[in-house]
């Protein structure tokens, strides 16, 4: 009975969605045309997605980063503090050696994706996830005690707070220089030449802050979820 | 285009059906994940233009004829990050519930609560 009722509700809702999709008129592309035509000129960042995330809508990104921060602290608070490991499987020496071989390359890829976020695909969020994968790999392979000894949780929470504070302080810098909160071109930064590594004002710095924050937040989340009483 | 819209509607309905019918809390979290994927697919369809290149330009923006819409891509990045965060929070809450009631099924939890 319950399954039949849910099926009816789902079918009605899906067909409503389908009818809405089919009756959509062609969208108004005025805003995206502006971004495409003047985005590189105004922000000096070649990657338009990064330009939108960290320049035009940087305030939105600040809210998003706050969500990651709030979730990481909630999970660390919710889940028990004792460090009995859930993963008790002992991996062979091949697995352990391969993991320690791969980790430096992962670090390089993550740092590259964060640092070149305004020139090539990537950015703070993607690179931060790759950096978080390092601690997740260490935890899965060598156990949570070793992982907590290598990357202490005090360092991770310092990184997370540093990223959040740095993001807000860079925004306030824009206000101090006479623009709006998180203003980039309005606050008379030297934006540089598009395509250079040090260019486009505060965008690379915001990328680094977001990368630190996401990396620390995700590894705190994973290490908290893996613990059990 | 219509096929993709149909796929999005079917995916969304499938996620909703899982949430409505299943008893297991982890399966409900998976259903919410399926609905999120449907929304991200919708963003991709809105940004797509036939023959367009990715929105990563050269120094002269006029070198390209047609570029896909960058705004839905930025929005879907936001949606992915928020989705990962909410999934992690859901799993943490499920761990707490399991520790307390020793079951993952909603009906039994309701009975235990009395």
Kindly report the CATH number assigned to the domain that includes residue B12. Answer: 1.10.287.3510
Residues for chain B: how many in total? 114
Confidence of residue B113 (pLDDT cuts 50, 70, 90): confident
A53 contact residues in B (CB cutoff 8 A)? 74, 77-78
Domains of chain B: total:
1
Most confident of A30-44, A116-130, A178-192: A116-130
**Minimum mean pLDDT range among A10-14, A180-184, B97-101, B104-108:** A180-184
Chain B residue with CA closest to A18: the answer is B9
Q: Give pLDDT tens digits for A127-165.
A: 999 999 998 888 888 877 777 788 888 888 898 889 989
For residue B72, being part of any structural domain is answered with: yes
pLDDT at B61 over 60: no
For residue B100, being part of any structural domain is answered with: yes
pLDDT number for residue B60: 63
pLDDT number for residue B63: 66
User: Is A153 exposed, middle or buried (CB count within 10 Å of its CB: 0-12, 13-18, 19+)?
Assistant: middle
The reply to whether residue A120 touches residue B67, judged by beta carbons under 8 angstroms, is no
The reply to whether residue A121 touches residue B54, judged by beta carbons under 8 angstroms, is yes
Q: What percent of chain A has pLDDT over 90?
A: 17
Confidence of residue A83 (pLDDT cuts 50, 70, 90): low
Tokens (6 digits) for A90: 């002992």
Q: What pTM does this model have?
A: 0.84
pLDDT at A118 over 90: no
Kindly write down the DSSP assignment for every residue of A137-192, as one continuous string.
HHHHHH-HHHHHHHS-HHHHHHHHHHHHHHHHHHHHHHHHTTS-TT-STTTT----
Tokens (6 digits) for A156: 């991770």
Q: Which residue has the tokens 């982890």?
A: B26
Is B2 in CB contact (< 8 Å) with chain A? yes
Tokens (6 digits) for A63: 């809210």
pLDDT at A86 over 60: no
User: How far apart (Å, rounded) are the C-alpha atoms in residues A128 and A200?
Assistant: 20
pLDDT at A108 over 90: yes
The reply to whether residue A17 touches residue B86, judged by beta carbons under 8 angstroms, is no
pLDDT number for residue A84: 55
For residue B58, being part of any structural domain is answered with: no
Where are the extended beta strands (E) located within chain B? none
The mean pLDDT of chain A is 83
Tell me how close the Cα of B35 comes to any Cα of chain A, in angstroms: 12
Q: What is the signed CA dihedral for B39, A129, A229, A69, rounded to 10 degrees?
A: -80
CB contact at 8 A, A17 and B20: no
Q: Which residue has the tokens 């306030």?
A: A172
pLDDT number for residue A140: 84
Tokens (6 digits) for A45: 């960042």
pLDDT number for residue B59: 63
For residue B92, being part of any structural domain is answered with: yes
For residue B103, being part of any structural domain is answered with: yes
pLDDT number for residue B10: 92
Q: Which domain holds residue B98?
A: 2-52+68-113
User: How far apart (Å, rounded) are the C-alpha atoms in residues A14 and A182?
Assistant: 41
Mean pLDDT over B66-77 rounds to 86
Partner-chain residue, chosen from B12, B21, B81, that has the shortest CB–CB distance to A6: B21
Q: What percent of chain B has pLDDT over 90?
A: 33
For residue B79, being part of any structural domain is answered with: yes
Tell me how close the Cα of B20 comes to any Cα of chain A, in angstroms: 6
Q: Which residue has the tokens 């319950």?
A: A2
B10 contact residues in A (CB cutoff 8 A)? 14
pLDDT number for residue B19: 92
Tell me how close the Cα of A204 comes to any Cα of chain B, in angstroms: 16
Confidence of residue A8 (pLDDT cuts 50, 70, 90): very high
pLDDT number for residue A229: 53
B28/A76: higher pLDDT? B28
pLDDT at A85 over 60: no
Q: Give pLDDT tens digits for A165-220.
A: 998 998 888 888 877 787 777 767 777 777 777 777 788 888 899 999 999 999 88
Query: Which of A112, A144, A148 lies closest to A131, judged by CA?
Result: A112
Confidence of residue B46 (pLDDT cuts 50, 70, 90): confident
């Amino acid at each position: 009975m319950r399954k039949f009722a849910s099926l009816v509700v789902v079918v009605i809702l899906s067909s409503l969605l389908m009818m809405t999709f089919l009756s959509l008129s062609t969208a108004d592309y005025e805003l995206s045309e502006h971004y495409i035509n003047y985005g590189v000129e105004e922000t000096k960042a070649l990657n338009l997605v990064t330009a939108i995330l960290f320049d035009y809508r940087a305030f939105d990104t600040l809210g998003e980063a706050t969500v990651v921060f709030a979730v990481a602290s909630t999970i660390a608070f919710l889940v028990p503090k004792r460090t009995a490991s859930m993963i008790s499987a002992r991996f062979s020496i091949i697995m352990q050696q391969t993991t320690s071989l791969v980790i430096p390359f992962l670090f390089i890829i993550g740092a590259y994706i964060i640092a070149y976020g305004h020139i090539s695909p990537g950015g703070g969020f993607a690179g931060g996830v790759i950096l978080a994968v390092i601690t997740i790999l260490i935890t899965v392979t060598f156990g949570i005690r070793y992982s907590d000894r290598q990357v202490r949780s005090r360092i991770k929470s310092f990184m997370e707070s540093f990223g959040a504070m740095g993001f807000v302080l860079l925004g306030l810098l824009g206000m101090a220089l006479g623009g709006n909160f998180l203003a980039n071109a309005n606050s008379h930064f030297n934006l540089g030449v598009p395509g250079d590594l040090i260019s486009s004002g505060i965008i690379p710095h915001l990328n680094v802050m977001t990368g630190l924050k996401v990396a620390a937040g995700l590894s705190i989340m994973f290490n908290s979820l893996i613990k059990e009483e | 285009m219509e096929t993709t819209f149909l796929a999005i509607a079917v995916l969304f309905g499938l996620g909703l059906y899982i949430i409505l019918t299943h008893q297991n809390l982890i399966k409900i979290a998976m259903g919410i994940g399926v609905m999120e994927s449907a929304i991200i697919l919708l963003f991709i369809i809105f940004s797509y233009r036939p023959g367009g290149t990715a929105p990563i330009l050269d120094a002269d923006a006029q070198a390209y004829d047609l570029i896909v819409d960058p705004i839905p891509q930025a929005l879907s990045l936001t949606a992915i990050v928020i989705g990962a965060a909410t999934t992690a929070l859901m799993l943490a809450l499920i761990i707490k519930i399991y520790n307390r009631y020793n079951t993952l099924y909603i009906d039994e939890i309701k009975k235990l609560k009395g």
